[in-house]
Structure 1
Amino acid sequence: MARTAVPATDRLVSALAYSLPFLDSLHYGRFLFARVPAAAAAIAPILPLAAAYRSVPYAAFVAFFALYLGVVRNPSLSHYVRFNAMQAVVLDVLLALPALLQRVFGTPSRGVGFRVMEMGYHAIFAFSVACFLYALLSCVLGRTPHLPLVATAADRQL
């Protein structure tokens, strides 16, 4: 079976789609950045972009719906682009769930609860960075990334 090459524009749009959940996950890395200065230094070049993104009111909300309505639901775009954009949307929704739980149960300020929250933040951020890097590399190479917990949900929506 012959593989068709994915056009460079499709690869670029697909790779850019994953920047939305990555930017939305940076706040989960705050404890890691405080403990590991090398991690903070590695992420420092994109902090101005993240600060600009966060400074615009409702930017995350607008970006989410722009990606969903402008890319995922656009039949003129290739399935490759739409699938990757849908994975990014699903990943972004999954990243919002811990913040929702935190608002419901409150934010512990010390003790075991704080330590559990800190470990959860580390796990969420590590998962998000791993997904971002895997998806980015796959898109650059023209392959379809299948993210754990995300790919089946994205495939069902398309």
Structure 2
Amino acid sequence: MSWRGSTTTQDRIFASLPYLLPIASGVVYGVSLLQQFGLVGVLGFFQPIIDLNSGFLGLAIFIALFALVVNNTNISHFVRFNVFQALLLDIILVLMGIVLPLLLKLLAFLPGIETIGQVLSNTLFLGALVGGTYGIVQSLLGRYAEIPTISNVVYTQLR
């Protein structure tokens, strides 16, 4: 759905790269799942992105992408849309990284809360992996990645 104009190969590549951020943020939630299937080596592939996406450097990258790409009307709508959507996915994962441990500590008295926490972590990991991969594939194909609710917010903010 490239209704804002055609996309170049360069736009497609630049639009797909930011989706690595939510994937890297989501990998943290999937460590135990990857261990269960013997896929811990996958973490090594994402380690440089995980390092870039953590701490102060991660905040600086977020601010730079938002200020220099999303708010820059000289950059194509396609790239700005995908960067903004990837940043929103990353924000959701960061917020869940704050809320989930607090929630699990508050509910620690409940039997089976560890299992519920593990299921939620696995769900966040798989959601980040699927959402990021979907965004990358759609961007490389030159299509807008329509993620329910998040895409609507992005469209509204980029008009």
Q: Could you tell me the TM-score, scaled by structure 1's length?
A: 0.85
Instruction: Say which of 59, 71, 74 aligns to 1:73.
Output: 71
Runs of 5+ consecutive residues of structure 2 not aligned to the other structure:
none
Distance 1:36 1:149 in 2: 32
Distance 1:109 1:141 in 2: 48
Distance 2:89 2:43 in 1: 23
The residue type equivalent to 2:137 in the other structure is L
Aligned 8 A contact 2:138 2:145 in 1: yes
Query: What is the root-mean-square deviation of aligned Cα atoms in Å?
Result: 2.4
Distance 1:17 1:109 in 2: 39
Equivalenced residue count is 154
Q: 2:19 matched to 1:18?
A: yes
Moved over 4 A (4+): 106-111
Aligned 8 A contact 1:20 1:63 in 2: no
**Structure 1 equivalent of residue 48 of structure 2:** 49
Q: Percent identity?
A: 23
Distance 2:144 2:156 in 1: 16
**Structure 1 equivalent of residue 135 of structure 2:** 135
Aligned 8 A contact 2:81 2:154 in 1: yes
The verdict on how the C-alpha distance between 1:156 and 1:147 changes in structure 2, with shifts beyond 3 A counting, is same
Larger mean CA deviation between 81-90 and 103-112 belongs to 103-112
How far is 1:52 from its partner? 3.7
